[in-house]
Amino acid sequence: MDSKTQTLVGSCNYCGECCRDIVIFDGKKFIRTEEDFKELIENDEYYRMFEISIREPFRLFFTCTNLGADNRCQRYGDRPQLCKDYPNKDMLMKGTVLPKNCGYELKEE
């Protein structure tokens, strides 16, 4: 069986979509409930910069409160690891998708 490798290619085009209506993965699991989110911000103050934007059964989406009108982070030097690692290939392999306008894409080789 021929297994293909997936590689992340591209660069940021400053669309800001990665900061809106996103899922948060805390390293162990996706944050799915408000209780999970409260626990996360108790343990990591950086996540206070996110607010819940969409509530669905078994899933929450978040938006960053530090996104400027120019679609750039207003706290870029002090952003959480989640943002520094974006786009994270591991998260993409767990079912998250890149925004439509994103300058990155996952290519099979």
pTM: 0.77
State the CB neighbour count (10 A cutoff) for residue 76.
11
Q: What is the pLDDT of residues 38-71, one digit of tens each?
A: 998 888 887 889 999 999 988 899 999 999 999 9
Question: What pLDDT is stored for residue 51 in this prediction?
Answer: 94
pLDDT at residue 3 is higher than 80:
no
What separation in angstroms does the CA of 89 have from each of 48, 51, 70, 95, 103?
24, 24, 26, 10, 14
Task: Give the start-to-end residue ranges of the domains of the chain.
Answer: 6-108
Dist CA 109 CA 107 (whole Å): 6
What does the pLDDT average to over 84-99? 77
